[in-house]
Structure 1
């Protein structure tokens, strides 16, 4: 392979990673509207990055064996998870309790990370069929999504102070809308 082909593949992977990471950025902005500490933001970004390494890796490995039938299923599952998270955030904002019932820690963080990384599984399926360089692909996907998640969470965290009690409704609405976008092709 010559240098032009390598640079072309690198550019293509960076653009794909950016596109996949924008999911995490957008959802991170919504989730950042919940009051989060910098330490939580750091761990959320690491977790999202790890999922954006693991999911496309599984997709690449399976994609080398199977067809891309699972791509649509993964996208719909991710959309359903985001809709459920969004609805939960909206409903919990109307309760008198402090904080959402499902926050981005523990199991909630796993659900959050899974919901934004399922689309990278379907991309991994396609790349596995295509025969992309596995290590390069997953490292680029992981790092880009981690950085974009941090950016989204930090921006959401700043805006949260301005919006006060309405920030959780807005955050839930963002997650809900993004989930519906994944489920419904419009």
Structure 2
């Protein structure tokens, strides 16, 4: 095992985990403006973290199957998905929706968790096609998204959401860049 390749993969996955977690951070900023107890914030972060483990895991399993079946076409599809997700995140960051449509309680928390982790399914699909290390990927995605969710909720409690739009734009830009890198390797 080449240690330099492993470190490079970890850094790449951490950057991608951060990009995906910025969506949860952004939504957490808005949700944090709802009066939530620290116990609720803890459970919301754990729930988002679990969803950011399971969604990319399912995507990676499907992506690995596609990779063996389709080869280079699957790599292009995976890169295209990342580009699409990045553009979609950048586009949605410019919308004027400041108020959350649902509250993160009960069934609303389930909807909230799915909404911020759907993009991690597609990224997992792309990473499965690319052949990333499954356990490393899903653990990093889960831990980073959980921490960013907690951070967003806590910051949202204290501020009026001025960071949210910019963080989602940054996350989308990172996904867009990785999609382009996947399609056009250097």
Does the alignment reach a TM-score above 0.5? yes
Task: Give the drift of 1:107.
Answer: 1.0
Please list every run of 5 or more consecutive structure 1 residues that lacks an aligned counterpart in the other structure.
Answer: 91-99, 160-166
Task: Give the drift of 1:54.
Answer: 0.5
Corresponding residue for 1:96?
Answer: none
Corresponding residue for 1:121?
Answer: 121
**CA distance, structure 1, for counterparts of residue 29 and residue 17 of structure 2:** 18
Task: Give the drift of 1:65.
Answer: 2.2
Superposition TM-score, scaled by structure 1 size: 0.70
Contact 2:102–2:112 at 8 Å: present in 1 too?
no
Contact 1:71–1:119 at 8 Å: present in 2 too?
no
Residue pairs, 1:142-157, within 5 angstroms: 142-157=142-157
Contact 1:52–1:145 at 8 Å: present in 2 too?
yes
Task: Give the drift of 1:30.
Answer: 1.0
- 1:138 counterpart = 2:107: no
Distance 1:101 1:52, change over 3 A: closer
**CA distance, structure 1, for counterparts of residue 25 and residue 121 of structure 2:** 17
Corresponding residue for 1:39?
Answer: 39
Task: Give the drift of 1:64.
Answer: 1.5
State the Cα RMSD in Å.
3.1
**CA distance, structure 1, for counterparts of residue 158 and residue 150 of structure 2:** 12
Give CA deviations for 1:92-118 in whole Å, capped at 9, x if unaligned: xxxxxxxx8831011111111111111
Please list every run of 5 or more consecutive structure 2 residues that lacks an aligned counterpart in the other structure.
Answer: 67-73, 177-186
Task: Give the drift of 1:2.
Answer: 1.2
Residue pairs, 1:16-35, within 5 angstroms: 16-35=16-35
Give CA deviations for 1:77-131 in whole Å, capped at 9, x if unaligned: x98xx99xx96x84xxxxxxxxx88310111111111111111111101110011
Superposition TM-score, scaled by structure 2 size: 0.70
Contact 2:24–2:149 at 8 Å: present in 1 too?
yes
Equivalent pairs counted in the alignment come to 153
Corresponding residue for 1:162?
Answer: none
Distance 1:156 1:51, change over 3 A: same
